[in-house]
Amino acid sequence: MKQPEYDRKEEILNEGKRYRLHNNYLTFGGGILQTSLRTSEQKALGVDFHFHIKRQYFQAGIIMSGEQFLSNNNIQAHLGYGLRKETPKINLAAFAGLSYYTGVIGGLDTSGKSVAVYYAAPGLYISGQAITKLSYDIGIGLEIFGEVSKFQAIAGFKIILFFSGAYRGLKKNYNPHVRAENNK
């Protein structure tokens, strides 16, 4: 089945309101991760901007983790390509791409004195999101994520808030960007 022609301003109607069909969104939240470098679980805070180019979706974000929320011993940035399925009640997405991280661990020098050991390296990142929408453009959900690299492996989850840029206002009269109202 052939997809209809792409219209960047295409809208849908939901409960008497107009929403952009092809929209960007922001997620942020906190959770827990486990890393191969440390024996204890780490608290994680992250923010991701999800954007599209035509019908292709991308994710750019950052995760900061440490012993407590807002403390940090590892910061990771990522950029990925993904798939997205959106309805008026849910948003499902999966992304995979490249990452770069930097951090610090404790170590011992040759004399046995405690020293900070800094590290940084590229890696591969993957994430999956399941969001329940409270309204069409606001929601809450769960994101699971992982990263592998030559220096460490990370796996974790975050409880995330979802904010979409889809809202365009109340339905008024005829709108040429609502496919159901077009005679094409």
| Region for 15 from its dihedrals, namely left if φ exceeds 0, alpha if ψ lies in -120 to 50, beta otherwise | left
Q: How far apart are CA 26 and CA 112, in angstroms?
A: 46
Q: Which residues pair with 175 in a beta bridge?
A: none
Number of domains the chain contains: 1
Residue 179 in any domain: the answer is no
Confidence (pLDDT) at 180: 64
Confidence (pLDDT) at 56: 93
| Region for 162 from its dihedrals, namely left if φ exceeds 0, alpha if ψ lies in -120 to 50, beta otherwise | beta
Domain of residue 43 covers: 18-172
Give tens-digit pLDDT for 40-97.
899 999 999 999 998 899 999 999 999 888 888 999 999 999 999 998 899 999 999 9
Residue 130 in any domain: the answer is yes
Residue 184 in any domain: the answer is no
Residue 13 in any domain: the answer is no
- pTM of structure: 0.85
Residue 11 in any domain: the answer is no
CATH number at residue 83: 2.40.160.20
Confidence (pLDDT) at 184: 44
Residue 163 in any domain: the answer is yes
Give tens-digit pLDDT for 133-184.
998 889 999 999 999 999 899 999 999 999 998 888 887 766 667 766 554 4
Tokens, residue 87:
């309805």
